[in-house]
Chain A
Amino acid sequence: MTTLEAQIQWLEDLQAIERLKLDYVQALDDGLCGARPFPTDALMSLFTDDAVWESNIHGRFEGHEAIAELFTGWAERLSFARHFTIGPSVDIAASGAEASGHWYSWETLTVEGRAIYLAATYDDDFRKVDGRWLIQHVRSNIIFRTPYESGWVKEPFPQS
């Protein structure tokens, strides 16, 4: 039998993880829209020390330094980004200290002066460290990254 306190804790954990992802998205978007200094510290404070960020397009990046370099590299090429993030569906492990979550993302970007639509799903892992949820593993599956004028059938990924 689950106690009332455990039930409330579960709801709080779901809410905290949803919020964590939004904190990540907002800080990243602000940085990609030109916020300087780039909010590296704010972003990295959301990740565990052993965090991994990977996608089918960008590859795999382990640890704060590599992930921060990935993000600041994007900031050099992008002048605008907004991640419209839909979801989540979050599962908390029985331990209460690990979780996974699934989101959809519809992204409007300006990459090297070109309007781009990006569609992706996220399957992320989270860990509770000293009472605070952190991102342990981002898995971004990019389905298309199409020039606005072309659409995902004609040009699912930029040809040039």
Chain B
Amino acid sequence: MATLEERTQRLEDIEAVRRVLLRLGESCDGPYDADTFVSLMTKDAVMDLMEMGVYRGRQAIHDFIAGLREHISFTLHYWCGFLIDIAPSGTEATATWYGMETPTIEGRAVLGGLTHDARLRKVEGRWMLTHLGQKLHFMTPYDKGWVKERTIPPIGS
């Protein structure tokens, strides 16, 4: 049976992870703040964006995120539905959530619908991402909708 202190710690960890993830989303709202983005990740973090590539380590992730500024002039990340599990160790966590995005990509209004997943590790009392994944459900021109055009071509292609 967990002690009251352990039970409180778990609740605090869930809230701390949620805040890290929300901060991550905010740092991706245009203009992209790549410094803040990678400060929330461990040095060996992996970002797997599937059709948009896999990026290993802070530098590669930083370069990709900073590069988005050339293509995306505006976006907001409406992230919701955080499902967060703290491992029994209390130093590892997993999270999934939903995200809707409203980017302007190459001057065009786009609507995105994604689900995200992350693994986190507590390093010196601070939760940091070791893995960030996403599944792109649609990234459609606003005037089309996800049936007529599910996704625009990947950025940089």
- Residues on A lying within 8 angstroms of B by beta carbon are 4-5, 8, 11-12, 15, 19, 22-23, 25-26, 80, 82-86, 106, 108, 110, 113-115, 148-149
Contacts and interface: CB of A to CB of B under 8 A. Distances in A.
A82 B78 CA distance: 14
Q: Is the interface of B mostly helix, strand, loop or mixed?
A: strand
Contacts, number: 55
A113 B100 contact: no
A115 B137 contact: no
B81 A106 contact: no
Contacts of B83: 19, 22-23, 26
B7 interface: yes
B112 to A, nearest CB: 10
A26 B8 contact: no
B148 A115 contact: yes
A11 B4 contact: no
B147 A85 contact: no
19 contacts: A8-B7, A8-B8, A15-B11, A19-B83, A22-B81, A26-B81, A82-B98, A84-B81, A85-B80, A85-B81, A86-B80, A108-B113, A110-B147, A113-B147, A114-B147, A115-B146, A115-B148, A148-B146, A149-B145
A110 B100 CA distance: 16
Nearest to A14: B11
